[in-house]
Structure 1
Amino acid sequence: MAIPSSPGAMGVFHAVARYGLTIPFGVPVDQAVTIAFAMHTFQYVLGCLLGLIGLGRESLSLGWVRDQATNV
């Protein structure tokens, strides 16, 4: 049985990053949490920007995406 993750993996990603930096590498907890939040924010924003650029290059819009999602 698995515990469901929160939307966007908030919390799970940060906990894994915190312990992954703290235990093997000895990074202080406050720095590890800051790095985790910075990495997660960067990855989220980068993915959104690349998606918007891709939509623009294909001459599509967010409205088209919404319409496609409701037609599933």
Structure 2
Amino acid sequence: MNRFATSFTMRFDAFTLAMLERIAYEEDKTRPEVIRSAVKFLYLKKYDEKELEGLRKKFRSSLLGDE
């Protein structure tokens, strides 16, 4: 099982998971902020800012227990 599949609340498509694996391959040399910016870049390619903000609000509220 891919280790990123359980690390995030949102489901990633196969392309994003493959990119994360490539980034994490040399994780000793990769700073967390580099990984975060790469994930943000991949999401911005897939979603526009408005959609991304909607996803962020939806998942943030469900993580905090607000409904």
TM-score grouping bracket, smaller chain normalisation: 0.3 to 0.5
Where is the helix percentage greater, Structure 1 or Structure 2?
1
Q: Name which one, 1 or 2, has greater alpha-carbon Rg.
A: 1
The TM-score, its normalising length taken from structure 2, stands at: 0.32
The TM-score, its normalising length taken from structure 1, stands at: 0.31
Structure number with the bigger relative contact order (C-alpha 8 A, sep ≥ 6) is 2
